[in-house]
Chains A and B, each alone.
Chain A
Amino acid sequence: MMSQDAKIRLDGVEKIYPGTKEPAVESLSLDVPQGEILVLVGPSGCGKSTTLRLINRMIEPTGGKIYLDGEDVTTVNPDHLRRRIGYVIQQIGLFPHQTIAQNIATVPKMLKWDKARIHQQVTELLEMVGLDAETYGGRYPKELSGGQAQRVGVARALGADPDIMLMDEPFGAIDPITRDRLQNEFLRVQEEIHKTIVFVTHDIDEAIKMGDRIAILGEKSRIRQIDTPERILAFPVDEFVADFIGSGSTLKGLHFEKVDSLELDPYPTMRLSDPKEVGYRGLLADPRHDWLLLLDDERRPIRWVNEQDLEQDGDITQESGTDVAAKVQTGATLFDTLEQMLISSAGVCVVVREDGSLHGVVEMTHLNQVIRRARREAREHYERLGAAS
């Protein structure tokens, strides 16, 4: 795991507060590669915030080394170190007596950028977080809603374009709907800016959503498991991790699989223009299925049709059978697919391509296979790790 090109590297970092014997953070080693969002998650009081604050030395470590880009920063001037690291906290902490633009310009000003460059940077950052620079630049923090203030908080942390961002429960104090939107926006921004981010939260769902990797921390910030969210959900290494991710981990894991990754079996279909015999033959040839999918001439699914519908007098029309209610596009996650399957009467979900033509039909057994495969792969991965060490 320890590679030389890690952007952030903690090597045996330790914090013992004066007057206590037990360390608050015990010999923590961690690598964060360039461009990754690493989420530190754990129960309250496990020391995850302390760990984050050790990285920019808001709390001075009492042991171990911190490297940024391979450079030992354990003893450099902490103020200068922090100007290289973006820092977002739950309380946001916008300076109430300064305008939004002045707030965002804080670090560039300290770094003595010239005025024109600062102005341009502020404008770009405000646009990046989705606020109109002209409208909001001159406002004061009290004139913003909570969500807007947190966007400004993120913009301010990005002020001098640091490579590294530390985020301490940044969306913790925001209502769930706004939080969800801010998370999505932040992930979109991150796709453009590729910062190396350490993100602290106590919310496992936020961790799963935001993290490229998740470190689940136990007491004294001991790493209980560190891996991609998929693997952690598929294979929690011990009871502590399993308890922490809680029930529904299988369901949450479905967020990470796309419906296109499934190998779908052929499903009986017939076109609107086909004679009824095609339908009978299709159903006879496939004894597992009682229904067939009626397609239009562009192979777009229109109705579910069964044997009784075929036996009725007259031709098969757009009104035959029942409506195709459960439908997702390729690219949807298996979670969305499962949701559609649960509301459909047939318990299956139709997958269509972007142009609306049929891609396949997902059945419960497919999901089952995916889940079992993910678990097997994760287990094998850890068995290999175990064998290697």
Chain B
Amino acid sequence: MSQTAQTDERLEDEGVAVEGEPPDYGNLPEDSWFVKARRNHLALKLAPLGILALAALLFWYYQSLGLDPSKNIQQASALDWSTKLYPQLKQHLWIAFWSTVLVVVIAIPLGIALTRPPLRRYGPAIVTVANSGQALPAYGLLILFLALMGQGARTVIIGLVVYALLPVLRNTMVGLDAVDRGVIEAGRGMGMTKMQVLGRIELPLAVPVIIAGVRVAMILNIGMATLAYLIGGGALGVTIASGLKLQQDPVIIVGAAMVALVALTFDWVGALAETYLKPRGL
């Protein structure tokens, strides 16, 4: 505070009106709870509490079912933690994780390449192809890959990569294209190489948009992994499907709630990344 005051004085000494300090953003009163909450990322901090509460609710519900093979063999075997739910959860996460990693590894470099002058003109065509991946019904897409590659989690992962490529590819391209031309021009004009401009300026500035794309892809993949059971990929979809087949509502509820919890948790992680990986100064 005192430093600012000093500078202002100095400028006034030169017979100079103090140049505008950074503008006030919006007309919201400084103390409104809404502004404060946003500034402190309140929603981000409260979200894990909500997720934990839901998990506790699910746990309580699971306990209340009183699973006993002698009473209800169908429920008890479908919802057995160590032989069914836990391995399925692991499978689910495994599928979602690898498909997301592959999407990132493929789509970000591709997006970078397609915004460089030599390949720029192919951008729209490639985006159209990636678009069609998402335009196909997910079910159809998985069946298509089943026909091509046979059963198993590997097929599921590849299908999901095709499906979730678009958001990351598109966001990478949009994020890079949105970098102010003047900033790039200044960087080049000071003698930064094209790679330096890309690595030190364009990518850091595009990070928020790219991460938003990755977050969308990750949530898509968690949701889609539920369909993995269709082609023998396992995961939590198995529980939901058997619940439907056996007409056991508790089995459906537990399976669906677990998928929802996983999705919520990872969406929160994505939101954390978006908030804290954003470069300072933006």
Could you say which of A83, A92, A157, A159 contacts B182, with CB atoms under 8 Å apart?
Answer: A92
Interface flags, A111-136, vs B, CB<8A=1, else 0: 00000000000000000001010111
Q: Are A87 and B192 in contact (CB under 8 A)?
A: no
Q: Are B281 and A87 in contact (CB under 8 A)?
A: no
Q: Are B188 and A82 in contact (CB under 8 A)?
A: yes
Of A82, A87, A93, A110, the most chain B CB neighbours within 10 A belong to: A93
Q: How far is it, in angstroms, between the C-alpha of A92 and the C-alpha of B185 when the chains are bound?
A: 9
- Tell me if B187 counts as interface (CB < 8 A to partner A): yes
- Tell me if A320 counts as interface (CB < 8 A to partner B): no
Contacts of A157 in B (CB 8 A): 190
Q: Are B22 and A87 in contact (CB under 8 A)?
A: no
Could you say which of B6, B188, B196, B282 contacts A132, with CB atoms under 8 Å apart?
Answer: B6
Please count how many residues in chain B sit with their CB below 8 Å of the partner chain's CB atoms: 35
Q: How far is it, in angstroms, between the C-alpha of A66 and the C-alpha of B108 when the chains are bound?
A: 39
Segment with Cβ contacts to B, from A96-104, A333-341, A370-378 = A96-104
* B108 CB to nearest A CB, Å: 18
Q: How far is it, in angstroms, between the C-alpha of A94 and the C-alpha of B187 when the chains are bound?
A: 9
Q: Taking A91-B182, A135-B6, A147-B19 as contacts, is the C-beta distance between A97 and B189 under 8 angstroms?
A: no
Q: Are A156 and B190 in contact (CB under 8 A)?
A: yes
Q: Taking A93-B183, A132-B6, A135-B7 as contacts, is the C-beta distance between A58 and B189 under 8 angstroms?
A: yes
Q: Are B191 and A80 in contact (CB under 8 A)?
A: yes
Beyond contacts A82-B190, A93-B180, A166-B189: 17 other A-B pairs, Cβ-Cβ < 8 A, are A79-B192, A81-B191, A83-B191, A87-B186, A87-B190, A89-B182, A91-B183, A93-B182, A93-B187, A97-B280, A98-B281, A106-B187, A106-B190, A135-B6, A140-B281, A148-B19, A177-B17
* B binding-site residues for A, Cβ under 8 Å: 3-4, 6-7, 10, 14, 16-17, 19-22, 180-193, 196, 200-201, 204-205, 279-282
* A binding-site residues for B, Cβ under 8 Å: 56, 58, 79-84, 87, 89-99, 106-107, 110, 130, 132, 134-136, 140-148, 153, 156-157, 159, 166, 177-178, 181
Give the top 8 A-B pairs by smallest Cβ distance, nearest first.
A91-B182, A93-B186, A140-B281, A83-B191, A82-B191, A87-B189, A97-B279, A93-B182
